[in-house]
């Protein structure tokens, strides 16, 4: 790399990393009132979903706020696996009942992502499609700072409390996509493992696979220096794997190796639940900066084009493929595809995730084997065939994946349509 200031640089030399302040530990949720006083907020909107609302956790949050003289209201209409329609309805409520000084999200990634979107459109003044990533939307950047947002996760999975993006289904296009900008990152993450003790094993397994894919995808992402040089205003949130994101991904994978199976099969094990919450947050600190790639790109059409699959442990009122399942179903085959572009990275990920696994004769199978053994142990469906897709559906799924160019570009070996079709076809069954 030249140090001459007059020589034009063509390859990237800069990476960025960011994460919100974190309050972690048993009982942390009851300190939200004190934390909100730091932002001088007098009126706060709490966003959650019906299931979490029924648990009483948002009401505890409201009581904590009241104890510090802060008024609040609870909106419990967040949709599990949010859509553009559900986010618009939440934003409509916020506009009609506002103004608000700050927001609090209580729930899984769906509630946190909805709160990010509501904060964005009500504070910045635009519509969802203005901000949604290209080529689906216009990828407009917010014009200024958003209002304070405290994220309180109740599942160990998305890591949305750490990240600067939100994900949604665009119903008219039957595609899952997202909004990505550093201003979306929550102002504070309050992570209380006690909130996850009653999660059903199926939800624990699915959301935990989201952590796995976050950590492994970002660890195997393109190295930041291999991207074309960007001007400051053109740099995206996902900058590629880098020395800081690597540290968080490694820590997340180590925690998963120790505690994931235990958390699924012994749901009242507080140590395992704490490790899973920490892994989710750490993986968010990794992928929220490095980025994810093929498994997440495939997940969007798999979830968006669901037929009649209704997973155990989730609401039965409509078909859905939970996000953690949808990202994991093609992961083994995706990592077979990307192996030769970064073999050392894939092998290190396998050793972090499954340190007990013997070395295989074919090194490209090491990471897929680690994943499939884990998925079988915790009850993840056996491939996209188990959630309702057949080989005849593959041509319809491929375009949805190819729309996720922001994610596909993060893979160290960028796939074309034929590659994606092959990955999907080979993922009809994983074992």
Report all structural domains of the chain as residue ranges with CATH numbers, in order of start: 22-196 (3.40.50.1970), 201-425 (1.20.1090.10)
Q: How confident is the model at residue 316 (pLDDT cuts 50, 70, 90)?
A: confident
* Alpha-carbon gap, residue 46 to 66, rounded angstroms: 13
Q: What is the pLDDT of residue 10?
A: 83
Q: At what angle do helices 417-425 and 394-402 cross, to 10 degrees?
A: 130
What's the rounded mean pLDDT across residues 5-23?
Answer: 83
DSSP string, 186-223: -SEEEE-GGGGTT--HHHHHHHHHHHHHHHHHHHTSPB
| 35-70 pLDDT, tens digit each | 999 999 999 999 999 999 999 999 999 999 999 999
Q: What is the pLDDT of residue 3?
A: 54
Q: How confident is the model at residue 353 (pLDDT cuts 50, 70, 90)?
A: very high
| 214-247 pLDDT, tens digit each | 999 999 999 999 998 888 877 778 899 999 999 9
Q: What is the pLDDT of residue 356?
A: 94
What's the rounded mean pLDDT across residues 11-33?
Answer: 95
Q: How confident is the model at residue 317 (pLDDT cuts 50, 70, 90)?
A: confident
Which of 11, 33, 296 has its CA nearest to residue 165?
Answer: 296
Q: 410, 184 in Cβ contact below 8 A?
A: no
pTM: 0.92
Q: How confident is the model at residue 176 (pLDDT cuts 50, 70, 90)?
A: confident
Q: What is the pLDDT of residue 169?
A: 87
* Alpha-carbon gap, residue 108 to 155, rounded angstroms: 5
Residue 6 has pLDDT above 80, yes or no: no
Q: What is the pLDDT of residue 177?
A: 84
| 95-125 pLDDT, tens digit each | 999 899 999 999 999 999 999 999 999 999 9
Q: What is the pLDDT of residue 4?
A: 56
Supply 419's token pair.
């590659």
Residue 288 has pLDDT above 70, yes or no: yes
* DSSP SS3 for 71: strand
Q: 46, 280 in Cβ contact below 8 A?
A: no
* Alpha-carbon gap, residue 347 to 113, rounded angstroms: 32
* DSSP SS3 for 73: strand
Q: What is the pLDDT of residue 377?
A: 98
Supply 275's token pair.
């490790």
* Alpha-carbon gap, residue 68 to 370, rounded angstroms: 48
Q: How confident is the model at residue 5 (pLDDT cuts 50, 70, 90)?
A: low
Helix, strand, coil shares of the chain as percentages rounded to 5?
50, 10, 40
* Alpha-carbon gap, residue 427 to 383, rounded angstroms: 5
The gap from C-alpha 95 to its chain's centroid, in whole angstroms, comes to 26
Q: 72, 44 in Cβ contact below 8 A?
A: yes
């Amino acid at each position: 790399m030249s140090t001459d200031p007059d020589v034009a640089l063509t390859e990237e030399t800069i990476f960025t990393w960011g994460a919100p302040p974190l309050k972690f530990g048993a009982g942390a949720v009851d300190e939200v009132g004190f934390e909100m006083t730091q932002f001088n907020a007098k009126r706060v909107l709490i966003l959650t979903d019906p299931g979490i609302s029924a648990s009483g956790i948002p009401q505890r949050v409201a009581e904590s706020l009241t104890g510090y003289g802060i008024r609040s209201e609870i909106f419990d209409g967040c949709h599990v696996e949010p859509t553009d329609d559900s986010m618009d309805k939440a934003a409509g409520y916020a506009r009609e009942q506002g103004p608000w000084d700050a927001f609090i999200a209580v729930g899984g990634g769906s509630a946190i992502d909805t709160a990010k979107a509501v904060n964005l459109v009500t504070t910045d003044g635009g519509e969802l499609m203005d901000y949604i990533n290209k080529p689906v939307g216009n990828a407009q950047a917010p014009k200024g700072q958003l209002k304070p947002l405290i994220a309180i996760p109740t599942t160990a999975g998305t890591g949305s409390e750490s990240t600067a993006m939100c994900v949604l289904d665009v119903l008219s296009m039957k595609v899952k996509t997202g909004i990505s900008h550093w201003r979306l990152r929550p102002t504070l993450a309050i992570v209380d493992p006690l909130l996850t003790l009653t999660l059903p094993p199926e939800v624990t397994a699915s959301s935990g696979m989201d952590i796995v894919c976050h950590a492994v995808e970002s660890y195997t992402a393109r190295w930041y220096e291999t991207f074309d040089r960007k001007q400051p205003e053109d740099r995206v949130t996902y900058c590629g794997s880098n020395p800081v994101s690597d540290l968080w991904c490694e820590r997340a994978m180590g925690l998963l190796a120790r505690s994931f199976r235990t958390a699924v099969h012994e749901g009242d094990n507080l140590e395992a639940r704490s490790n899973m919450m920490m892994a989710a947050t750490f993986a968010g600190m990794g992928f929220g900066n490095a980025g994810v790639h093929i498994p997440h790109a495939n997940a969007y059409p798999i979830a968006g084009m669901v037929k009649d699959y209704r997973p155990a442990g989730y609401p039965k009122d409509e078909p859905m493929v939970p996000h953690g399942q949808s990202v994991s179903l093609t992961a083994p085959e995706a990592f077979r595809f990307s192996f030769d572009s970064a073999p050392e990275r894939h092998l290190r990920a396998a050793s972090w995730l499954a340190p007990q696994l013997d070395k295989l004769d074919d090194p490209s199978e090491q990471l897929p084997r680690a994943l499939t053994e884990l998925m079988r142990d915790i009850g993840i469906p056996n491939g996209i065939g188990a959630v309702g897709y057949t080989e005849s559906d593959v041509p319809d799924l491929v375009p949805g994946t190819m729309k996720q160019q922001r994610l596909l570009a993060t893979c160290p070996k960028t796939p074309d349509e034929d590659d994606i079709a092959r990955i999907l076809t080979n993922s009809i069954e994983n074992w």
